[in-house]
Structure 1
Amino acid sequence: MHFRFTCMLLLLSGFSFAQAPAFPADGLQVKWEVVENGYQGKAQTLSVFTLINKTKQAFPAAGWTFCYNFIRYVTPGETSPGIEAAHVNGPLFTFRPKNGFKGIAPGDSLKINIVSVAWVTGITDGPEGPYLVWDQQPAKGYALTDYVVVPSTTEKQLRRTAADRHPQTTVEEIYRRNALVADVPLEQLPKIFPTPASYEEKPGVLVLDAAGTIGYHPDFRQEAEYLSAMVGQLLGKRLRLTEGSDQGSIRLEKAADADMAAGAYRLSGKPDAYTISSANAQGIFYGIQSLRSMLPAGSKNTLYPLPPGQSPAPPPSGSRGPALRLPLVEVNDMPRFGFRSLMLDVARNFHPKQQVLKVLDLMALYKLNVLHLHMSDDEGWRVEIPGLPELTAVGGRRGHSVDELTALLPSYGSGPDVNNTTGSGFYTRADYLEILRYARQRHIKVIPEVEMPGHARAAIKSMDARYARLMKEGKAAEAAEYRLSDPEDKSQYRSVQEWKDNVMNVALPSTYKFLEKVVDELVAMHREAGAPLDIIHMGGDETPAGVWERSPACSTLIAREKLGGVDDLWYYFYDRVAKIVNQRGLQLYGWEEAAMRKTRRDGRNVMIANPDFGNRNFQVDVWNNVMGEGMEDLTYRLANAGYKVVLSGVSNYYFDMAYVKDYYEPGFYWGGYVDVDKPFYFIPFDLYKNAKEDDQGNPLPPTIFTGKDRLTEYGQHNIVGIQAALWSETVKTAARQEYMLLPKLLGMAERAWAPDPAWAREKDEAAAARLYAEAWSKFANIVGKRELPRLARLNGGYQYRVPTAGALVENGKVLANVQLPGMVVRYTVDGMEPTAKSPVYTEPVAAKGAVKLKVFDSAGRGGRTITVRP
């Protein structure tokens, strides 16, 4: 850790921290670009930083450290003549000059080659947040804001390895995929989404204006107020409420059959009133969302289009202002899965309270009922815990420092300034209560996640800072009360994200006291918010090899408890965690690794379902189903072993994966590419049937699932739901968050709510393919013509992804199409960027030069431009 070492030397030699830096940070321009993936025939990348001196003074030959974040591990050592590369921790890397380095003359430049593991083939893969630290000011970092990533364009820059024959998705491939979508007229599309269990349209409409009323059963007062506000946004005035469900334009009725399933409802429309009936408030709320599906997607004065040949109904007597015409339908509906979840990561990069509330509104619209809040990780702790202020005062901030007693290290380009808005931020206790209450009103359960024992660096460093503070105050016993690390532990390891110190020490009594404290405070906040906690997520993800191996405390614990070795510490730890959770009346929930056990088979290390926890009502998120990597059946193995399984597979439901294999498409791709169709075509109880491509976008060989475990009838009962996950390493703004969520989330909502579709049950492959093609076309039309226009206006508009056009050159002309009917392709032939006023593509374009194509939505917002030459 070069800048820490420098700091110690400077303290000893008496340098002043206030001394001005030797060179202005804004005088240095920085560029970075890939030279070659598959460098030297290995899974590694050669790239180059270029430092350009823009000033009239020399950039110093010594006395500085160049810091940057990179998601790829960089080989340490001399990287270019006179420059030493080093790894600090996690994604933080440095360069320092060695003796003999000559500096950078005015107007001159320096190239620094680096070799990193794996490959770099996407715009969001590159290094981020470069900054300088001067030796005379080791506690301060100076951001280098004149920084650019030079786009990759050549094959050797874009392919993963020399053997990669398909480095990018072509516009021709997109065209052929888009061509499979048939255009379905709007009036022929079902008017409720997600698809109800039973749906029937009837002739006639209900005309509703601001003079209408809502009658409600006393149990459904909250839902009536929600409905009144929702309709009021369209009519300009809230509808009047009246207690009693035998009257009103819309009636919220208590169903007589009290054993009606949770979330089930009936929706019945007549020309004089709409009735929503359910045995529970949750069902009434979902009935309201179905009614909402039939409300206009546009402005408040837009009337729902009438079916062809039907005359408009007269307005109600005495009506004033805008009116809504609601088509009449009969619906009997209930959710397929009781657990329909979105995992939102706010730890890696913070997302403010208002954005979380906006996401909750989105979830409510599509009948999702769980927000899994990933509130803690290595890079941040985001919820205030009374009595442990350092968790947010230190763990909730990122910035440059010499000891991390005031903030965590910069990660994901958050930079040296602790006042950045991506690395720093947390929810106060009041904020968290507001989120809980907002979610409760929308029948959404918030499940907080306390990530541990790995991915716990924010908590560990926060408790180290607490320890240091209290030791200075002479309070040794209090200082050790919640400590999570042991200074005597000399274990060496590196996590997947390159952290060297991110695992709690499971032999310390203070670790369990910390967990008890956090759980108790979360339980108390949920109780105060009127949203009692009955399940809590206790992490368990990606604990690296090498942990605890050189810990005296762990060695003592192993001997005392007669454990088989270091590996058994994992099961000891989770047994204690389970008891902490269960003693508080909570169900234990974790990532799949928490349900796995290391053993040996045929002389090889293998992971099996841990038999110790399978019968303890332990719920797990199973994410590892990367197609082609051998773990595709893990979901079913754990369900068959008795675990309550949430289908959270990366191949279909990790929404931080890029949509397509395109350099400019943001997101990761280690688990494959996740476009709108993958969440839609997922078959929960037979995920092999519609798995079409591996993690690189190549067709899967037909033998890939031979010998894989299939789901038993017993196991099927243990599949409790589906979860979409949005990790935030590459997600730093509200716009990017919404781009990655939408429209993917709509496919997930359909699979989680709607009945098992005919194409999933059909055994004849040809018939199943025909049925799927019809269903996919209908879904794409619903998304493009109804749901995205609605989302473009709801809550100020959601910034969903507008896809790129597909294109094909045929007979000297450019053909174009779009993935989602309802959107349009506009083009130019004069070299200018297409705008919302450019010509609409209606027929093949003949042009002598380049044709630029861009897709626009109904609100006039465009996607990314492609250029095609006939």
Structure 2
Amino acid sequence: MRLKKCLLIAFLLPFVAVAQKGATTYPVKDLHVKWTFKEHQNRNKQSLSLLTFINKAAQPFPAANWSLYFNSMKEIEVKTSDQLIIEQVNGDLFRIRPGKSFKAINKGDSVILDMVALDEIVNFADAPGGLYLVWDNQPDKGLKIEHYDVEPVEKYLKNVVSPLDTYNRNSKFIPKDKKTLIKLLPTPVFYEARPGNFSVNAVTSINSDPAFRNEAEYLSNELFNLFKIKLVVSTGASKEKSIQLVKNNLPEDEYQLEITAQSITLSASNATGIFYGLQSLKSLLLANSPVKGAKTVLVSNVSIKDAPRFKYRGLMLDVARNFHPKEEVLRILDLMALYKLDVFHFHITDDEAWRIEIPGLPELTAIGAKRGHSLTNENALQPAYSSGPDTTEVLNKAFYTKADFVEILKYAAQRHIEVIPEIESPGHARAAIKSMDTRYSRFMAKGMRAEAEQYLLRDINDKSVYSSAQYWNDNIVCVALPSVYTFLNKVTESLQDIYRQAHVPLKTIHFGGDEVPQGVWEKSPLCLELVKQAKMKSTDDLWSYYVSKLQSMLKPKGIVLSGWEEFGMMKTYLDGHKLMVPNPLFANDPVQLDVWNNVIGGGTEDLPYRLANGSYKVVLTCSSNFYLDMAYNRSLTEPGHYWAGFVNMEKLFSFIPYDYYKNAKENNKGEPVSRSVFVGKDRLTDFGKSNILGLKAALWTEKISNTELLEFMLLPRLVGFAERAWAADPAWALEKDSVKSEAAYEDSYTDFKTRVGLIEFPKLDQGGWNYRIPPVGVKVTNGEIAGNTEFPGFNIYYTTNGKEPAVKDKLYTSPIKEKGVVKLRAFNAKGRGGNTTTVQN
């Protein structure tokens, strides 16, 4: 599901300087560090990057008595030499210590560390982060390296997306005429534009069926928030120039929207259908600008009949790896509502943090939500994902209180969005384990053994050796411990209480289940005793035992078990090699599986279909197309992971849920995929189709530490996802003739891109969303520079003086003939710019 072990970094340090004592007098603020990518080696199986230390203090940087800590999502080689000692602390935290021959760094001198990686580096997010220094005589105090620069040198990279590649890709699509476009995404089942418009102003009223009173109030509030127009809501007889919410006999969640010059009539059989119609109305209103000088908004006359394709249209947001505040979560719920998504999968716990308050277990947030430099993990978890050493920083101690969570639940419910909390187990549980260790120590110090062991999550005598996908060696709960189930029951009942306070039903809890590494439980006395007593064959059988225990806990509470695909898998062996296959034991249970591991070229391309064919209820959470933490393309300046491939807008739009092999054009390395990859792979049967609940996009945040980057990774790709989750199966997906299918696809995608550029981006601008503005594609021909953008609607500005382009600079209107270094940059209507493209003419 996430980044796998793929990189080994070796540091070689030829320090030449003078020894210095009195380490703690050195001003750490004057130590500057720079990371630079250098080159790929050994046919891209290795990469060389440089870590440069520059001493800008008046005194030498000392030769001894210090440790430099940093986070790296790439595994680092443990190394000991006379010059340098490199150690892994745990997880992604590493430490460099000076060897006995290490020399001090004099004022003004610099030292370069060669960083050799046994894999390629693709973008700047591969750089180490979170650097801090610790003096030996102050081991509890971490001092942040304030001056750390990541300086990618793109010219050294091979096989990257060039400005010419971007230009040629953009040139394939000629925008459609805006007048012919549907002004609404996701695309409705039926849409007919008609002449004229309806005027929404202060005299307009909302007349609603009593069953839709809440939705009417929502509309009134939204119109005020967006346009400062406050409409009165009534349940009386319909009036002229009114917005009417009418109850009818349409199938569940479907709606009809009729806009004429006299009235707006929205009808549906249930409140959810009405709400979706309101989102279409809101979207159509946002497509028009308010009348200048008057509190009036015109909305074009139209007839719409619409219904969702899939019942389950979800977004998963990870707030454990990097926290994102409640206000941003509410903002994302509004975005989901606008694009008619209805399931919010809230990833609130993981190895690196526990983000929700649980009454009676204060350690979960007092310890599990706090990150910073720690020798014991008793007062805080260690830094992770470049979080730094300071436990007092807001994001290093952040979590959602009960009141926060209740507010989120109510906000989501008003928008007809179900919130599914995820409590990671039995793996990815380090934050919970360390929190309960602290609780254990606290009660044991008081001689209260029973209380200490009540919620203990690990076998304290376990000697098992393992390393998780993120390099943790202590992140798996002991499934043989009764206290583990006491803990999980406590958390479950606390969540039930929170949902009750919000007056929202708790239908399912996602209990994780992914990435339990080889080696766990094998040397745990408690686990081995359970295996013996239950007459299991090996510790491998403990997996099914654990799933059964979860089911026995949840079923009496009326809660459905959700989890990652591993909850539907079991371990077996083929020719002595481990093999994961669908587990028939739980296939007929109400288990919902989010299946992510269909990496194209990874060997499990058909896993979602195999599980659905095997009777499991499956949500297609395919990393190949729906993992929004993947980089947009293969460029050093594009943030994100890439282990599952590169995910641009087209990857989401082109996804065919019932046959995604058909439109899979790239493997996980961004290379053209051979059709032989799918030979022998299971295809989705008609029975399997009945087990596909829907689609889910996922945004993991290992590399996303602020809301601006969060929105950059989310948009506009979420619009492409919403189109595929809501809209009917397009004709090009069903067409069997490959030539006709490709032609229909190109036309459809051109239409979609035009609508996103000319209609959706202005809507997102009104909401202040930091969506990704594409870099300018460039082609140089006979001394002339031509530029274009992926989507229409952007202005291109350029400079020839070496400075970054701004809206005050030259506007690109025709090919540029000026010589020298030319920088081009696309800007939206609000004056916000994308990444700069630099060319030599």
TM-score range, shorter chain: over 0.9
When residues 35 and 809 of structure 1 are mapped into structure 2, their CA distance, relative to the original with a 3 A threshold, is closer
Q: Distance in 2 between matches of 1:249 and 1:717?
A: 44
Q: Please, which of 600, 606, 614 is the counterpart of residue 641 of structure 1?
A: 614
Say which is worse superposed, 352-361 or 19-28, in terms of deviation: 19-28
SS at match of 2:154: coil
Q: Distance in 2 between matches of 1:594 and 1:26?
A: 48
Residue aligning to 1:274 = 264
SS at match of 1:294: helix
Residue aligning to 1:148 = 149
On the 8 A contact 1:139/1:401 being kept in 2, the answer is: yes
Matching of residue 441 in structure 1 with residue 421 in structure 2: no
Matching of residue 503 in structure 1 with residue 493 in structure 2: no
Give, in angstroms, the shift of residue 245 of structure 1.
5.9
Residues 484-534 of structure 1: per-residue CA shift (max 9 Å, x gap):
112200001111111110111111001111110101111111111011111
Q: Please, which of 177, 181, 184 is the counterpart of residue 185 of structure 1?
A: 177
Residues 375-403 of structure 1: per-residue CA shift (max 9 Å, x gap):
00010110101111011111101001121
Residue aligning to 1:8 = none
Matching of residue 792 in structure 1 with residue 793 in structure 2: no
Q: Distance in 2 between matches of 1:350 and 1:323?
A: 40
When residues 175 and 154 of structure 1 are mapped into structure 2, their CA distance, relative to the original with a 3 A threshold, is closer
Say which is worse superposed, 183-192 or 826-835, in terms of deviation: 826-835
Q: Distance in 1 between matches of 2:244 and 2:212?
A: 7
The code of the aligned residue for 1:196 comes to P
Residue aligning to 1:105 = 106
Q: Distance in 2 between matches of 1:629 and 1:443?
A: 37
Say which is worse superposed, 108-117 or 55-64, in terms of deviation: 108-117
Q: Please, which of 45, 50, 53 is the counterpart of residue 52 of structure 2?
A: 50
The code of the aligned residue for 1:68 comes to F
Q: How does 1:61-72 map to 2 (within 5 A)?
A: 61-72=63-74
Q: Please, which of 195, 198, 205 is the counterpart of residue 213 of structure 1?
A: 205
Residues 355-376 of structure 1: per-residue CA shift (max 9 Å, x gap):
1001011001000001100000
Say which is worse superposed, 448-457 or 470-479, in terms of deviation: 470-479
Q: How does 1:474-623 map to 2 (within 5 A)?
A: 474-623=447-596
On the 8 A contact 1:218/1:244 being kept in 2, the answer is: no
On the 8 A contact 1:672/1:695 being kept in 2, the answer is: yes
Matching of residue 341 in structure 1 with residue 314 in structure 2: yes
Give, in angstroms, the shift of residue 46 of structure 1.
3.9
Give, in angstroms, the shift of residue 604 of structure 1.
3.8
The code of the aligned residue for 1:729 comes to E
The code of the aligned residue for 2:580 comes to M
Identity of aligned residues (%): 47
The code of the aligned residue for 2:515 comes to E
SS at match of 2:600: coil
SS at match of 1:182: coil
Q: Please, which of 76, 79, 98 is the counterpart of residue 77 of structure 1?
A: 79
Residue aligning to 2:802 = 831
The code of the aligned residue for 1:862 comes to G
The gaps in structure 2 that reach 5 residues or longer are 1-21
Q: Distance in 2 between matches of 1:232 and 1:248?
A: 21
Residues 305-337 of structure 1: per-residue CA shift (max 9 Å, x gap):
xxxxxxxxxxxxxxx933222222221111000
Matching of residue 24 in structure 1 with residue 14 in structure 2: no
SS at match of 1:372: strand
The code of the aligned residue for 2:206 comes to I
Residue aligning to 1:204 = 196
Residue aligning to 2:605 = 632
Residue aligning to 2:632 = 659
Residue aligning to 1:808 = 779
Give, in angstroms, the shift of residue 291 of structure 1.
0.7
Residue aligning to 1:313 = none
On the 8 A contact 2:23/2:64 being kept in 1, the answer is: no
Give, in angstroms, the shift of residue 271 of structure 1.
2.0
On the 8 A contact 1:298/1:790 being kept in 2, the answer is: no
Residues 132-153 of structure 1: per-residue CA shift (max 9 Å, x gap):
1111111111111111223233
SS at match of 1:295: helix
Q: How does 1:765-780 map to 2 (within 5 A)?
A: 765-780=738-753
The code of the aligned residue for 1:714 comes to F
Give, in angstroms, the shift of residue 234 of structure 1.
4.5
TM-score, structure 2 as length reference: 0.95
Q: Distance in 2 between matches of 1:820 and 1:598?
A: 46
Q: Distance in 1 between matches of 2:62 and 2:821?
A: 47
SS at match of 2:538: coil
The code of the aligned residue for 2:465 comes to Q
Give, in angstroms, the shift of residue 184 of structure 1.
1.6
Q: Distance in 1 between matches of 2:321 and 2:632?
A: 21
Say which is worse superposed, 826-835 or 654-663, in terms of deviation: 826-835
On the 8 A contact 2:183/2:287 being kept in 1, the answer is: no
SS at match of 1:721: strand
On the 8 A contact 2:628/2:698 being kept in 1, the answer is: yes
Q: Distance in 2 between matches of 1:419 and 1:776?
A: 48
On the 8 A contact 1:380/1:423 being kept in 2, the answer is: no
The code of the aligned residue for 1:788 comes to F
On the 8 A contact 1:66/1:131 being kept in 2, the answer is: yes
Give, in angstroms, the shift of residue 266 of structure 1.
1.0
Once superposed, what is the RMSD of the aligned Cα atoms? 1.8
**Number of aligned residues:** 820
SS at match of 1:703: helix
Give, in angstroms, the shift of residue 208 of structure 1.
1.9
When residues 118 and 60 of structure 1 are mapped into structure 2, their CA distance, relative to the original with a 3 A threshold, is same
TM-score, structure 1 as length reference: 0.92
Q: Please, which of 254, 262, 287 is the counterpart of residue 264 of structure 1?
A: 254
On the 8 A contact 1:224/1:252 being kept in 2, the answer is: no
Q: Distance in 1 between matches of 2:321 and 2:604?
A: 26
When residues 42 and 552 of structure 1 are mapped into structure 2, their CA distance, relative to the original with a 3 A threshold, is farther
Q: Distance in 1 between matches of 2:229 and 2:721?
A: 34
When residues 176 and 193 of structure 1 are mapped into structure 2, their CA distance, relative to the original with a 3 A threshold, is same
Q: Distance in 1 between matches of 2:622 and 2:749?
A: 21
Residue aligning to 1:228 = 220
Residues 228-264 of structure 1: per-residue CA shift (max 9 Å, x gap):
122223442310111136336444434332xx43321
On the 8 A contact 1:298/1:793 being kept in 2, the answer is: no
Give, in angstroms, the shift of residue 154 of structure 1.
4.4
Matching of residue 33 in structure 1 with residue 40 in structure 2: no
Say which is worse superposed, 850-859 or 672-681, in terms of deviation: 850-859
Matching of residue 124 in structure 1 with residue 97 in structure 2: no
Q: Please, which of 668, 674, 696 is the counterpart of residue 695 of structure 1?
A: 668
Q: How does 1:9-20 map to 2 (within 5 A)?
A: none
Q: Please, which of 695, 698, 701 is the counterpart of residue 725 of structure 1?
A: 698
Say which is worse superposed, 293-302 or 602-611, in terms of deviation: 293-302
On the 8 A contact 1:83/1:101 being kept in 2, the answer is: yes
Q: Please, which of 230, 236, 240 is the counterpart of residue 244 of structure 1?
A: 236
The code of the aligned residue for 2:802 comes to G
On the 8 A contact 2:216/2:245 being kept in 1, the answer is: no
Q: Distance in 2 between matches of 1:798 and 1:415?
A: 28
On the 8 A contact 2:653/2:723 being kept in 1, the answer is: yes
Residue aligning to 1:315 = none
Q: Distance in 2 between matches of 1:245 and 1:515?
A: 52
On the 8 A contact 2:257/2:267 being kept in 1, the answer is: yes
The code of the aligned residue for 1:268 comes to E
Runs of 4 or more off by more than 6 Å in structure 1?
Answer: none
SS at match of 2:586: coil
Q: Distance in 1 between matches of 2:653 and 2:774?
A: 17
The code of the aligned residue for 1:271 comes to A
